[in-house]
Chain A
Amino acid sequence: MGLLTILKKMKQKEREMRLLMLGLDNAGKTTILKKFNGEDVSTISPTLGFNIKTLEHRGFKLNIWDVGGQKSLRSYWRNYFESTDGLVWVVDSADRLRLEDCRQELSSLLQEERLAGATLLVFANKQDLPGALSKEAIREAMALDGIKSHHWCIIGCSAVTGENLLAGVDWLLDDIAARIFTTD
């Protein structure tokens, strides 16, 4: 049995996953995290550093890292890349002015070697707003169809209503599980 197989087996035993949630400031990352965890979302402040939440879902132990997206924090993102199984990229679907910014940040992340193995879930967040772009529009604006390096999926959601958060996380878990936990 090779080292990789043993590591795989260990992970399988623990069924532990590390998810990294990134996106521009105001995208709704912290709101998604708290909503998913059943917490109050009305008092969330812009994130000054990062939040970590460990939670059990479908028998998996999820370590979710939510890192602040303000400009001055983006240079720290790389500190969190190591051992990431799933990358959750959160987009504010109503923020048309910064879609291009958003696309560029994502595309440079996908070039990161340390994220090379990670599955990508794009949350087109804030679908509850009348001015939100559809997930198809976001898919186009983010040039997702050009991504060949990662498994990816885009899901329209709302952190405020909770709509589709579970669907997104479930897709992500299934994709990661198929990759990491398959028995040899």
Chain B
Amino acid sequence: MDATHEVSREPGGFAGESGADKIQERLQKRHQARAEDAERRKEAKESMSVAEEKGEYFSTSFNTERASIEELLSSCSGADRAVVTPRLEEATAKTLQLQKFLNDSMLFLTQYELRRAQAALQKLQSSIVEIREEAQPRKKFTFRARTKATDKVSDAPSPEADTPADSGGNKVDGAAESVQCRFSDLDNVCLTKTAEEIQKRDVLLTHLSNCKVRLFGSPSTLHLKHIDSCEILCGPVSSSVFIDHCTNSTLAMPCQQLRTHNTTDTKVYLHVTSRAIIEDCHGVSFAPFSWSYPTLEEDFDLSGLDRDRNNWSQVDDFNWLAAGTHSPNWTVIPEADRKTTWDP
């Protein structure tokens, strides 16, 4: 790689204006030459009228489309992220299409029309970039004042999420056994995995209810699926933790990413070095990771996670992307209610 940079405009047909203009000029010259040829062959009238017709069709369609993109973009100003994100995506896609339309039409456009269209496209593209940057989540979120107001949510009855059968699980499950650490289909037991059992492997817990699980050591990935009324504590996970269909439980783990789905009424004591996300969840609440065990430090080192970077309160709800208002689907556990001591 010679040089890299973040894109500052949408990629379309042209890399830079000057290069594109040269090409356009050349194309235009070529077009003119062809037109003259045509004249000599006495097809002039016909071809000119076709070109005019096409040119008119082009500007009408181009301007209509441009206006509709502009409208989309202006409707983004002041709107919240939930609204802006899909609109921006639509505007991006439409702009790309418009660029393609221009590329396809350039043979019969005059230089002036081409320039104008290209300039209009560039304006659209830079507005999109601007709005996109504005819509980016701010680095730091603070939710201090809101915990009270949203406390209610965790008491709400948990709408039981439907549980579609895991597709394709069986085929490869057998093979997984040998390389994966797992517990499944257990009720009301205490379960432990040692650091030696876990080292850098994937850990999978499925269909557990009323269990206490202690996972020492540093897994590569942790999967929790169909968990009901359990307490699951886990050492530092070097990449992601997946939680799916978990209810009424208490979890604690450090990890790089947390991806939570279809989960209700669950408390997560979290250390996360990037961000946590929730999708199709209700009543999930978060507090900083507070479990400890004798070899935790070593496991942190092993996992490569940064001990000093914990974004436990920066949760993105994929079903609630509003910038100004807090998602009703998750809360911060008030300090007074946080668990500080854990059973062994």
Contacts and interface: CB of A to CB of B under 8 A. Distances in A.
Contacts of B172: 96-97, 99, 133, 141
Contacts of B103: 7, 10
Of the candidates A13, A49, A73, A97, the one having the most CB atoms from chain B within 10 angstroms of its own CB is: A97
A63 B13 CA distance: 11
B202 A129 contact: yes
Given A46-B277, A48-B316, A99-B172, A54 B27 contact: no
Contacts of A55: 1, 3-5
B180 interface: yes
Given A55-B1, A100-B171, A46 B257 contact: yes
A99 to B, nearest CB: 6
Given A26-B259, A72-B319, A94 B221 contact: yes
Interface residues of A toward B: which range? 35 or more
A59 B90 CA distance: 31
Interface residues of B toward A: which range? 35 or more
Given A3-B107, A38-B4, A101-B167, A82 B96 contact: yes
Contacts of A96: 169, 172-173, 175-176, 180
B240 A26 contact: yes
A99 B321 CA distance: 29
Contacts, number: 155
B207 interface: no
Nearest to B174: A96
Contact of A57 (B1, B6, B201, B309): B1
B11 A52 contact: yes
B54 interface: no
Contacts of B277: 45-46, 48, 70
A97 B245 CA distance: 15
B120 interface: no
A98 interface: yes
B25 interface: no
A18 B316 contact: no
A49 B321 CA distance: 11
Given A46-B316, A53-B6, A130-B201, A61 B15 contact: yes
Contacts of B15: 14, 16, 61
B93 interface: yes
Contacts of B202: 94, 129, 131
B90 A79 contact: yes
A130 B11 contact: no
B230 to A, nearest CB: 19
Interface string A1-37: 1010011001001101010000001100000000001
Interface in B283-331: 304, 306, 309, 316, 318-319, 321
Contacts of A181: none
Interface string B15-59: 100010001000100100000000000000000000000000000
Contacts of A54: 4-7, 11
Interface string B191-202: 000000000111
Contacts of B344: none
Interface of A: 1, 3, 6-7, 10, 13-14, 16, 18, 25-26, 37-38, 42-46, 48-50, 52-57, 59, 61, 63, 70-73, 76, 79-80, 82-83, 94, 96-101, 103-104, 129-131, 133, 141
